[in-house]
Amino acid sequence: MKTFCGRANPTTGTMEWLEEDENYDYHQEIARSRYADMLHDKDRNVKYYQGIRAAVSRVKQRGEKAIVLDIGTGTGLLSMMAASAGADFCYAIEVFKPMANAAVKIVEKNGFRDKIKVINKHSTEVTVGPDGDMQCRANILVTELFDTELIGEGALPTYEHAHKYLVQEGCEAVPHRATVYVQLVESKRMWSWNKLFPVHVEAEDGEKIIVSPSEMENCPGVPSVCDIQLNQMPSCDFTILSDVVTMFSVDFSKPVRSASTSYRVQLEPVKSGKAQIVLSWWDIDMDPSGMINCTMAPYWVKSTSAFQWRDHWMQCVYFLPNEEPVLQGEKVYLTACRDEYSVWYALQKARAEEENKAAVRVESPVCRCQAHLLWNRPRFGQLNDQNRTRQYIKSLMKVLKTDSVCLCISDGSLLPVLAHYLGAEQVQCFFLFFLSLRFSLVFLFFKANNLEDKIKIIEARPELLTSSHLEDKKISVLVGEPFFTTSLLPWHNLYFWYARTAVTSHLTSNVTVLPQSASLHMMIVEFQDLWRIRSPCGTCEGFDVQTMDDMIKNSLNFRESKEAEPHPLWEYPCKSLSDPQEVLTFDFRKTVPQHSLSTEGSVNLLRKGKSHGAVLWMEYHLAADISVSTGLLQISNEKGNCEWNPHCKQAVYFFSSVIESETLSDIPSAVTYAINFNTKTGDIAMDFKL
Ligand code: SAH
């Protein structure tokens, strides 16, 4: 069955009605899912297997039959482990239908049809009794329902229900317990993902400081977890203010309560500084003794973790509501609050605490300033990137004249403010907006800087811009970062070009456009680890999971042409195998052409290594000799290690050799490519041959 789905095209800005296969969401879910990554996570798999074996043997030693409940069976892996370990029967519950179907096939293929019953239901719908899904309650509870924040995928309510209705009292649980750890740090880098720092502008009439509105200063932000590969954060980017402490733990073998609660620990700062960030991770003990432990601890806590790569579980960065000075040795209290699905933190000074002995009730963070709704964390980082701001200031100074009439097209940008100050406050500035959410944020922002009468905010789509919006003036300088919140892939910000085309009739004949052009760059890379997320598994701990591999491959091919996917490469080390190459240019001084832009060529491979894929990014040429890169910043050494713009996601196109896991018979010396930018649809199609 086909259905029509409306969506705004991120590049062209037009509304499109796409005929979507009803399976579209399924395929997206599977193709982009973390199943492959989990199956590749050897450390996790080995420890689950050990824990399951130990639990089965404890039950057998008691002379009982081992009846397993595996909630969220996915491929059926943990149930197959239990059956191999001697479990008498397993109930494997999986809510996601395509996965439940795959589990049935995989279980059958591995010869466990008589031992494992796959039930395609949410665990809270499962019935127990002679006519129920389960004949009786289980005495071993096995699950893997954890995300980076531990509870974000609903583990707590699922456990709470399972203990009430699906397992026996005193059951064994694998994992047996989870523990959440925290460490207080100061980090300008991480803090810059949550607050907007003042921007200093050297204008002709003295230094100007752009400040953020008080609503933004005091805003607690959003509750969504900030999960990152903390092992990629160099130690010079943060200062440790406390030891690692246990925040809370959950015993999965006993009844679990999911209702909102809070936990408090006392911390004695090991250093004076500004408490800004709580870093957090967890570990799971697979058995009661704690001998089988699987930990997400970062490299400075456990030196071997740098080699233990996984993407389905990372580490969390929590922003305290406000930065709080702490003194070495002067105790503070850290409170973790949680509801069923998320955790947030607050810090109290010990003295204030004594005065107010009543339990601290900290509300879940709700963004009041709208900035945290409009800008994600990398965008905050980008706006706080002084080096980047300097490039824009230099370029604006080159292009602005005192009689300039300036129009800015970008989402929630500081460019109009910069233009206003740099143009000696003579420049007439307009700012084009599309959504009221953005409108009110920008208004607050201009107001905080006393600019609400100086910069006119226009709330209209570019194609609906009229001369009266512009007070019958023609635009002599058109600026954009460009940045749009709807962009996922680097070239989606080419929407600026489409907007520029739409407002052409309002531009002077010799208009200056900043950036004047953009170029798409490409480089062939070998990833240290990221290739795993798309690579088939074959067998996992001796179980044949090829059905899953085929399913993922089928979903990746669902769209016929494979697509590039966005990844923040500062978190995923890779080495360059070729020189970076400019492949397409987009001239913003002209309108978007009717015809497609395409290119073909080949790149030589300069270093030995596995060509896992191509990385693509955009560079913006702001003005003569001034460019900013949203991708490669530099190749740092002769080994080819790369440094990427930390505030942008780059596009990664995995080669079929990764997806098919084929070993190439001979090492290629060059990669040929064909890249086509369809100006009508805004899509970039690409093809590579090794
Ligand atoms: N157990 C597998 C897969 C883990 S992924 C492994 O370890 O490799 C978690 C799976 O649990 C997902 O497939 C998700 O769809 C499923 N799931 C999550 N909560 C569930 C619930 N309450 N009932 C049934 N399935 C659930």
Query: What are the chain's domains?
Result: 2-32 (no CATH), 34-177 (3.40.50.150), 178-366 (2.70.160.11), 377-514 (3.40.50.150), 517-528+573-689 (2.70.160.11)
Tell me, yes or no, if 153 is annotated catalytic: yes
Ranges of the chain with pLDDT below 70: 1-6, 17-25, 32, 351-361, 424-426, 433-439, 558-562, 664-666
Distance 109 CA to ligand 1 centre (A): 20
258 alpha-carbon distance from chain centroid: 26
Check residue 559 and give its pLDDT. Answer: 58
From 26, 29, 73, the mutation candidate for ligand 1 (largest count of ligand atoms within 8 A of CB) is 73
Catalytic annotation, pick one of 20, 29, 108, 153: 153
Ligand 1 closest atom vs CA 145: 9
Q: What is the pLDDT of residue 2?
A: 57
**Nearest of 616, 608, 613 to residue 656 by alpha carbon:** 613
11 three-state secondary structure: coil
- The pLDDT value recorded for residue 556 is 74
Among protein residues, the one with the nearest Cα to ligand 1's atom 15 is 96
Tokens coding 579: 């020189």
User: How far is ligand 1, taken at its centre, from the CA of residue 72, in Å?
Assistant: 3
Give SS3 for 508.
strand
Ligand 1: centre distance to CA 153 (Å): 9
For 541: left if phi > 0, alpha if psi spans -120 to 50, otherwise beta; the answer is left
Name the one residue in this structure whose structure tokens are 């070998």: 526
Mean of all residue pLDDT scores within the chain: 91
Question: Do residues 458 and 431 lie in contact, with contact meaning Cβ atoms separated by under 8 Å?
Answer: yes
Residues with Cβ within 6 A of ligand 1? 38, 71-75, 77-78, 93-96, 99, 122-123, 144-145, 154, 158
Distance (Å, rounded) from C-alpha 294 to C-alpha 281?
11
- Each residue's pLDDT tens digit, 22-52: 666 677 777 767 788 899 999 999 999 999 9
Q: What is the pLDDT of residue 402?
A: 83
- 73 Cα–ligand 1 center, Å: 5
CB atoms within 10 A of CB 667: 11
Which among 26, 52, 91, 144 is the best mutation to test ligand 1's pocket, defined by most ligand atoms within 8 Å of the CB?
144
Establish whether 560 is a catalytic residue: no
Whose CA is closest to atom 5 on ligand 1? Answer: 74
Distance 94 CA to ligand 1 centre (A): 6
Residue nearest to ligand 1 atom 11, measured at CA: 72
- Pairing verdict, β 206-210 and 581-587: unpaired
pTM: 0.93
Residue with tokens 């233990």: 308
Q: What is the pLDDT of residue 72?
A: 97
Q: Which of 121, 69, 109 is nearest to 92 (CA)?
A: 69
CA distance 621 to 142: 55
In SS3 terms, 522-543 reads as EEEEEECCHHHHHCCCCEECCE
Residue 190: which of 381, 339, 26 has the closest Cα?
Answer: 381
Q: What are phi and psi of 552, to 5 degrees?
A: -65, -45
Closest CA to ligand 1's atom 7:
144
272 C-alpha to ligand 1 centroid (Å) = 43
